[in-house]
Amino acid sequence: MILNVSGRTDIVAFYTPWFINRIKEGYVDVRNPFYKKNISRIYFSDVDLIFFCTKNPKPIIPHLKEIPNKIYFHVTLTPYKEDIEPNVGNKKEIIKSIKELSKIIGKENLVIRYDPVFISEKYNLEYHKKAFEKICTLLEGYTNKILISFLDDYKNVRNHKNIINNKELTEEDYKEIGISFTNSARTHNMVVHTCFEDRDLVEYGFVKDECLSKTLAYQLTGKVYKEEWKARKEGKCHCVKMVDIGEYNTCSHFCKYCYANYDEKEVEKNKKNHNPNSSLLIGNREVDDIVKERRK
């Protein structure tokens, strides 16, 4: 089993104490997002790999030795300011944490996500080209891969349309991004790749590759994973199936492009209902909950 920690929220940035408590207890409970009374219980002894996805790895770095499982990190680092990412924090400090993380787990186990890319009057092509080059320069030797994705039309994006104010990318825009980003990455000994994108930019030097391919999963765990994410089987993504232990509407970054938050009032409500000693990320188990063990 591979855990995703997490695509639904940033557990590392905001809920590390809870996660470490779950590691110590040996299991975690996860509510089904569609059938709230159904809970899956997952034992860490069944977990082959923990796939962390975060915007700020700093909180968990002191606790890495407490995690007995194999780990792999995606850290999102984008050039947007507080109008788009209100609570992400100081990017210089995040870069320091990325470097520290890389030294501990190895650069081969760390991918940087420049995600998502959108173009606006404020964040124009020149802005992105300079920002991407700077990131590559600062992180040379600390990662081998940078993953790129483009803005998708999520509910939260539509809600903040007047703030994001993005323009539709033209083929000339894609070409300029592809050539510039590829050159920057290669200069600093990195590969830039896409996963599940309509425009993968392979003609300009990008590599089309899954976030967690079957090949990579085998390299990391020594096990063969045949099953892919059900939600994406009909698309272009062939990432191996992972089990997400997060919960939607719980991330306090409040990024205006986020797919996992779609009601900021609900986020504040959920935060108040978080108990670091609970087996659940939000709230506690109730008498009529149905708990089923999810084994390998």
| Domain edges within the chain | 2-293
Would you state the pLDDT for residue 233?
42
Q: What is the dihedral of CA 128, 131, 134, 135, to 10 degrees?
A: -90
pLDDT at 111: 98
- Which pLDDT does position 229 carry in this prediction? 61
Residue 106 to residues 17, 38, 93, 146, Cα–Cα distance (Å): 24, 38, 19, 15
- What pLDDT sits at residue 232? 46
Q: CATH number for the 2-293 domain, one of 3.90.1150.10, 3.40.50.300, 3.80.30.30, 2.30.40.10?
A: 3.80.30.30
Predicted confidence at residue 26, as pLDDT, reads 98
Query: In a structure prediction context, what are the per-residue pLDDT tens digits for the chain, which is 296 residues long?
Result: 999 999 999 999 999 999 999 999 999 999 998 899 999 999 999 999 999 999 999 999 999 999 999 999 999 999 999 999 999 989 999 999 999 999 999 999 999 999 999 999 999 999 999 999 999 999 999 999 999 999 998 888 999 999 999 999 999 999 999 999 999 999 999 999 998 888 999 999 999 988 898 999 999 999 998 776 655 444 556 789 899 999 999 999 999 999 999 888 999 999 999 999 999 999 999 999 999 999 87
β 110-117/70-76 pair status: parallel
Q: Output the pLDDT for position 17.
A: 98
pLDDT of residue 145: 97
CA quadruple 273, 54, 197, 117: dihedral positive or negative?
positive
Strand partners, 208: 194
Residues with Cβ within 8 Å of 96's Cβ and at least 6 positions away in sequence, in order, are: none
